[in-house]
Structure 1
Amino acid sequence: MTVAIILGRRIDLPTSVFLHGLALAFYGLYLTFYPTSTPSRANDRSAMMGIAVTCLGLGYLGTAYMPQEQNAFLYASVPVRVGVAILSGLKLLLYGNTLGTAGKRDFLAVLIYDGIGGLILGWNLGTWSGIAPAYR
C-alpha cells in the first residue's frame, strides 16, 4: 500500500509503518537533545538511547522508496519486533517484582506496542518469516 508521494517520489510503506518510522525518528531526536535531568550518567544513557531510536526510525524511512517486495528491512522487522516483545514480556515475567512502576509500564508498553505492531505488519505483508518475496 502506498502512503504518499513526497518530493515527487512514491513512498511504498504501509501507513502504520510510515507513521511508526516518523514517530521513532522524532522521539529519538527528543531523547537525544532534550535532557530529562541535570547532567548525569542517566541523562547520557537517555541521549544514547535517543540516537539508537532515531536510527531505527530512519531505517524504516530510508527504505521507504524501494518497492515493498524488495524491502528486506521491512520484512526482517516483523520477527525482530515480535522477538523484542517476547524479550520484554520475559523481563516482566522473571524480574517484574524488581522493577519500579515506571519500569513495569515501559516494558509493558514495548510488549504491547511491538507485539501487536509486529503481528499486524506480518499479517499485512503476508508473512512472519522475515524474508522479503524478492529474496525467496
Structure 2
Amino acid sequence: MGQFVSVRQARQQRLVSEEPLTVWAVLAEAALRQEVGGAAVMRNQLGHLEQMTELSNVTVQGIPFRAGAHASTAGPYVILSFPSASALDVVLLDNPSGSRWFEGSQDVQTYHGLWNDARTKALSPVESRNLIALIKECGP
C-alpha cells in the first residue's frame, strides 16, 4: 500500500510542477457525499479538492443527483491524452484486481463518448466548486 500512496502523491505533485499536467475530472455527487474516513477527513478532502479547482490547469465538474442516470455510471475510468500529435489516447480502468489499459481506437472512442455524456450532464466548474463548498460546510 505504501508504494501505491507514493505513486499517487507523485502524480498529485505534477499538478503544481513547472510544467503541470492538465486534469479535467467529472465526479458524481454521490462520490462527493460518501463519507470515507469520518467527517473531519471528508472536510479536509473536500477542502483540498476545492483548492485544486482554483488551479488554471484543473477543471472539476460535479454531476448532481438531479441529472439522473448517465452513461458513466458503470465505474471510474481515466482517459490519458498526450500533447504529441502522433500519440494515441489511452484509457485506464483501476479496480481491486488491478489496472486495465485500452489502446484500441474503438475502445478509446467508446470512453470518449461516455466522457462527453458525463461532462455535458455535469454542473459548470463554478457551480461544481459551489457544490463542493456546500457539502464541505454542511456535510454529506
Q: Is the shorter-chain TM-score for this pair beyond 0.5, marking a shared fold?
A: no
What is the TM-score normalised by the length of structure 2? 0.26
Larger radius of gyration, structure 1 or 2?
1
Q: Which has the higher helix share?
A: 1
Whichever structure has more strand as a proportion of its residues is 2
TM-score by length of 1: 0.27
